[in-house]
Amino acid sequence: MNNTYIFFISLVIAFIGVLPPGLLNVTAAKISLKEGHNRGFMFSIGVCIIVALQVYIATVFAKYLNQHPEVTIILKRVAFVIFLLVSIYFFLTAKSKPKSLEVEPSIKSKQSRIFQGIFLSSLNIFPIPFQAYMVTTLVSFKWFSLESTTIGTYVSGAVMGSFIALYVYILFFDTLKNTKFVTPKNMNYSIAFITLAVAIVTLINLLRVD
pTM above threshold 0.75:
no
Q: What is the pLDDT along the chain (210 residues), one digit of tens a residue?
A: 678 888 999 999 899 888 776 778 878 888 888 888 888 899 999 999 999 999 999 888 887 777 776 666 777 777 778 777 877 877 777 676 555 444 444 444 445 888 988 998 888 877 887 888 788 878 877 778 878 888 899 999 999 999 999 998 888 776 655 555 555 566 666 667 777 777 787 777 667 655
Q: What is the Cα gyration radius of the chain?
A: 18
Task: Report helix, strand and coil shares of the chain as percent, to nearest 5.
Answer: 80, 0, 20
**Which of 210, 201, 162, 208 is closest to 79 using CA atoms?**
201
Which residue type does 9 have? I
With contact defined as beta carbons under 8 Å apart, do 166 and 20 qualify?
Answer: no
With contact defined as beta carbons under 8 Å apart, do 170 and 29 qualify?
Answer: yes
CA distance 9 to 31: 29
Enumerate residues 6+ apart whose C-beta is below 8 A from 95. none
